[in-house]
Amino acid sequence: MTRIKVCGITRIADALQAVKYGADFLGFIFADSPRRVSVEQAARIIAEIPDSIGKVGVFLNHPYDFVKEIIKETGINYLQFHGSESPEYCQEFRLPVIKAFRVRDEKSLVGLGCYQTAVYLLDSFHPDRAGGTGKTFDWQLAAKAAEYGKIIIAGGLNEENVQKAIHLTRPFAVDVSSGIEKSPGIKDKLKMKRFIEKAKDR
Ligand SMILES: O=C(O)c1ccccc1N[C@@H]1O[C@H](COP(=O)(O)O)[C@@H](O)[C@H]1O
Instruction: Kindly report, residue by residue over 41-70, the tens digit of the pLDDT.
Output: 999 999 999 999 999 999 999 999 999 999
DSSP lists the bridge partners of residue 142 as none
Single-letter code of the amino acid located at 67: V
Single-letter code of the amino acid located at 24: D
What is the Cα–Cα distance from 37 to 145, expressed in whole angstroms? Answer: 30
82 Cβ closer than 6 Å to some ligand 1 atom = yes
Q: What is the mean pLDDT of residues 114-143?
A: 90
Evaluate whether 108 touches 140 at the Cβ level (below 8 Å): no
Check pLDDT > 80 for residue 154.
Answer: yes
31 pLDDT band (50/70/90 cuts)?
Answer: very high
Rounded to the nearest whole angstrom, what is the distance from the C-alpha of residue 17 to the centroid of ligand 1? Answer: 19
Whose Cα sits closest to atom 9 in ligand 1?
Answer: 131
Q: For residue 170, what pLDDT is reported? A: 94
pTM: 0.96
7 Cβ closer than 6 Å to some ligand 1 atom = yes
19 pLDDT band (50/70/90 cuts)?
Answer: very high
Q: For residue 201, what pLDDT is reported? A: 87
Check pLDDT > 80 for residue 136.
Answer: yes
User: How many domains does the chain divide into?
Assistant: 1
Q: For residue 167, what pLDDT is reported? A: 95
Q: For residue 106, what pLDDT is reported? A: 87
Neighbours of 72 (CB within 10 A): 10
What angle is formed at CA 104 by the lines to CA 89 and CA 110, rounded to 5 degrees? 45
What is the Cα–Cα distance from 195 to 6, expressed in whole angstroms? Answer: 10
**Among all residues, which ones are annotated catalytic?**
7, 123
Q: What is the mean pLDDT of residues 149-172?
A: 96
What is the extent of the structural domain holding 111?
A: 3-200
Average pLDDT score over the chain: 95
Neighbours of 119 (CB within 10 A): 20
Continuous segment of H or E residues that includes residue 154: none
Length of the chain: 202
Q: What is the mean pLDDT of residues 29-39?
A: 96
Evaluate whether 14 touches 21 at the Cβ level (below 8 Å): no
Q: State the CATH number of the domain containing residue 182.
A: 3.20.20.70
DSSP lists the bridge partners of residue 174 as 4, 153
Cβ neighbourhood burial of 188 (10 Å; 0-12, 13-18, 19+): middle
The larger pLDDT score, comparing residue 2 to residue 109, is at 2
Which of 164, 170, 158 shows the shortest CA–CA distance to 196? 158
Which of 93, 48, 102 shows the shortest CA–CA distance to 75? 48
177 Cβ closer than 6 Å to some ligand 1 atom = yes
Rounded to the nearest whole angstrom, what is the distance from the C-alpha of residue 171 to the centroid of ligand 1? Answer: 17
Q: For residue 179, what pLDDT is reported? A: 97
